[in-house]
C-alpha cells in the first residue's frame, strides 16, 4: 500500500488524504460510498475494495479510507481497511 501511495503523491496535482469513520451509504450500481462523519463521498474504481466496503457497511464497522483528489471535493478511493481500536481489534 505504501508504494502505491508514494507513486500517487509524485503527481503534483493529486492530493491524498486519510479519513476514518463509518460507511453511511454504499451504492453498488454507481460504485460510490459516503463516509461519516463529514459526509465524504468516494468513487470506487477498484472493484477489489467492494468486499471490504460491503462488510463494513452491513456490519457498521469503522474503516480507514485513503482517497485521492485533484480538487479536495471529488474523491476516488485508493485504499479501504478496517480501522483498529486501541485494543488492536476491528
Domain boundaries, the chain: 2-82
Q: According to the 3-state scheme, what is the secondary structure of the chain?
A: CHHHHHHHHCCCCCEEEEEEEEEEEEECCCCEEEEECCCEEEEECCHHHHHHHHHHHHCCCEEEEEEEECCCCCEEEEEEEECCCCCCCC
- State the pLDDT at residue 84: 76
Percentage of residues in the chain with pLDDT exceeding 90? Answer: 67
**pLDDT, tens digit (0-9, with 9 covering 90-100), for 76-89:** 999 999 997 655 56
- State the pLDDT at residue 5: 58
* pLDDT over 80 at 59, yes or no: yes
Question: What kind of fold does domain 2-82 have according to CATH?
Answer: OB fold (Dihydrolipoamide Acetyltransferase, E2P) (2.40.50)
Amino acid at each position: 500500500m505504501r508504494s502505491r501511495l508514494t507513486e500517487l503523491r509524485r503527481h503534483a496535482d493529486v492530493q491524498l488524504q486519510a479519513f476514518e469513520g463509518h460507511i453511511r451509504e454504499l451504492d453498488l450500481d454507481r460504485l460510490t460510498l459516503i463516509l461519516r462523519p463529514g459526509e465524504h463521498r468516494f468513487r470506487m474504481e477498484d472493484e477489489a475494495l467492494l468486499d471490504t466496503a460491503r462488510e463494513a457497511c452491513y456490519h457498521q464497522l469503522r474503516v480507514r479510507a485513503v482517497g485521492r483528489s485533484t480538487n479536495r471535493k471529488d474523491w476516488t478511493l485508493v485504499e479501504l481497511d478496517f480501522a483498529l481500536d486501541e485494543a488492536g481489534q476491528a
